Amino acid sequence: MGDLYYVPISSPCRLVQMTAAALNIKLNLIEIDPYRKEHLRPSFLKLNPHHTVPVLVDGDFVLYESRPICIYLIEKYSKDDSLYPRDPKRRAIVNQRLYFDMATLFQRFAEYYYPQVLKKLPADKERLKSFEEAMKILELFLDKQKFVAHTDKMTIADISIAATINTCELGGYNLSRYPNIFKWYTMMKTICPGWSVNLKAAGMMKHYTTKISYDL
């Protein structure tokens, strides 16, 4: 079913792994160690000059960026359209949620969290405020809704955002202040195939992360 170059702690990589599990397909996992700069080796740069993970190699076809990889896998292997609806309007909402996750939710969390963890910089109050504004938007998405794209079943948008929220949780963020998110996320833990990949990430984060302040 293809090779997946990945870093276990990466939420985009976990998104691909959970999507593959939802499709009941098995990918050959090839772990990349960024601390040993394996992502900068010539053999990897030949696959992805952006030197990022995940990277999917399916025969002679190479694709990077997690969400396009997931869409490719769904369109190739899915037996129905529940994960990624064919209806133009329903698909548009799923796409909007995917882009919201990529460009707003995950981005704003990363801008607040990773400088503290990787560079030992002090917490930035404005970046925390920006991240929490994104969380409030997600809370509205889930108002009286079971799934983030207002569908009857779990979609790729739910898996994508759940991977991000899991990283927030592992980073010490208190989700209980957002009741809609908390209820949805608790459900996702029980219904999302392949959720165990997040447990491995949790173990890895304990080895290097520090306690991050969210009360500024």
- Would residue 196 show up in a list of annotated catalytic residues for this protein? no
Rg (alpha carbons) of the chain, rounded to whole number: 17
Q: Which helix (H) or strand (E) holds 158?
A: helix 156-170
Nearest residue to 4 (alpha-carbon basis) of 49, 63, 60: 63
Cis upstream peptide for 54 (omega within 30°): yes
Edge to edge, the sheet with strand 61-64 lists 28-31, 3-6, 55-58, 61-64
Cis upstream peptide for 42 (omega within 30°): no
Give bridge partners of residue 62 from the DSSP assignment.
57
Nearest residue to 79 (alpha-carbon basis) of 132, 140, 145, 23: 23
Catalytic, out of 10, 11, 66, 160? 10
Tokens of 49: 């000059």
- Residues recognised as catalytic: 10
